[in-house]
Each structure stands twice: as structure tokens, then as C-alpha cells.
Amino acid sequence: MTKNFETLAEHLNVTFSDISLLRTACTHRSYINENRDSGLEHNERLEFLGDAVLELIVTSFLFRKYPKKAEGELTAFRSAIVNTVSLAKVGDKIGLNDYMLLSKGESKDTGRARAIILANAVEAVIGAIYMDSGYDTSANFISEHILNIIDIDEIVKNKTWIDAKSKFQEKSQEKVGLTPSYKTLKETGPDHDKKFTLAVFLGDVQIATGEGKSKQEAEQKAAENALVVKKW
């Protein structure tokens, strides 16, 4: 199916002089590998640029919004706004999924791998806007589609910038005086597509389990589930 990137630009409320920049922002490396004669380029250079633009604009926003917060806290807030999970949600909300140019294999993936692709595409779109229209238009886009979507006050109030594993450890030490431990329960799948199941314990008591494509991801999931179990 042909993608109409003029329609996407209209949806994003951005006017492009060079619409090919937006198409490039939505083009994943896997698509190029599968369509070598397409004449297109992948979005990684635009992603690199957009990442820097996004970081600058979000940093400037936080610097003004929280004049009494220390550098370490501002860094943590920024990480919560521009992390993969947050940006993937933004990408989904603005409809990028419908415009991504992916290989047949990547187009079937709906898990974390797709979330990473979508988050990277959001950064690439920002890079495309910056290249086409400059700083002010990029800042307007980020304000409208990222800063207005993410509840920053809720992040600050509930400390949701802290990752689940760190938060569960903090709560465990505070409430029961114990440091959580993690144990691998099983590994499944071939080397290139493994899935790990881990459990988190307080002392000898298993609190919850989690699955992921890496041990680190499974630990985070186990910690998320443990926070729910303990109602922390």
C-alpha cells in the first residue's frame, strides 16, 4: 500500500517544503535491506539529529518549569519524558505505525522491538522537522505532541521517573528492611530470540515473576509486577 506522507504531515500539523524528509524519518533500515533498489535511505541519521533536538528542547522546558530542582533531578525527569516507552506511546498516538516502512518481518512484530522502532521514528520525525523548518517549528511540535501528552507533574509527584527495579528496592528497604534478589527460572527459544523468566524474592519468599527478551528486561517486569502485588 502506498503511503501518503503529505497526509501524515497534515495530521502532524506541520508543513514540509521537502516531504521526502518525512518519508525518510519513517523508513526503517530493515525496509532498505529488503528493497535495495528503492532509492530510499533509512532514518538513523535523522534519528541522531532528532534525539539531540528533543533533548535540548525538553531540557530547556524543564529548566524553566522547575527553577529550584537540582541537575540530577532534572536529568531524571528528562529521561522519563524521552525514554523508549514514552516516545513509543507518542508515536502510536500520532499514528506513525500506519506510515512506517518496514521489512515484512519487522512489520509483524508488535512487542518491545516495535516500540523501539516507533520511539526512534519519533526522534527521526523531529530531526526531519528541524532540517526542514528549524528550531521553532521543532519546539512547537515537541510541545504539542510530547510535552502536552506526558503528565510531567504526575511523573514528579509519583516519582515515576524511577525505574521499577529501583523503586521496588527502595520500597522494600523502607517497608520491610530487605533488599530484593532475582533468580532466573527458565530460558526458552533459540539464541537469536531468547525469552527469560525471572522471579523476584524478598528473603526466601517469591513475590512475582517477569518475562523479557533479556534478563534485565525480565527483572524490570518482575519488579513492576511485584509493586502491584505489594500495592506499593
Q: d(Cα 138, Cα 57) in Å, to the nearest integer?
A: 9
Q: What is the CATH number of the domain that holds 176?
A: 3.30.160.20
Intervals of the chain under pLDDT 50: none
29 and 126 share one domain: yes
Catalytic residues: 51, 123
Q: What is the CATH number of the domain that holds 61?
A: 1.10.1520.10
Residue with cell 527469560: 196
The pLDDT value recorded for residue 28 is: 94
Of the residues 156, 182, 200, which one is the last residue of a structural domain? 156
The pLDDT value recorded for residue 91 is: 94
- Put residue 220 in one of left, alpha, beta given phi > 0 → left and psi -120 to 50 → alpha: alpha
190 and 101 share one domain: no
Residue 118 domain boundaries: 5-156
Q: d(Cα 100, Cα 117) in Å, to the nearest integer?
A: 9
The pLDDT value recorded for residue 110 is: 67
- The CA radius of gyration of the chain, in Å to the nearest whole number, is 20
224 and 151 share one domain: no
85 and 149 share one domain: yes
Residue with cell 516516545: 87
* Number of domains into which the chain is organized: 2
Give the amino acid at 209.
Answer: T
The pLDDT value recorded for residue 126 is: 98
102 and 177 share one domain: no
23 and 127 share one domain: yes
Of the residues 156, 186, 201, which one is the last residue of a structural domain? 156
174 and 198 share one domain: yes
194 and 90 share one domain: no
What is the pTM (predicted TM-score) of this model? Answer: 0.71
Strand order of the sheet with strand 181-188? 181-188, 195-202, 205-212
The pLDDT value recorded for residue 24 is: 97
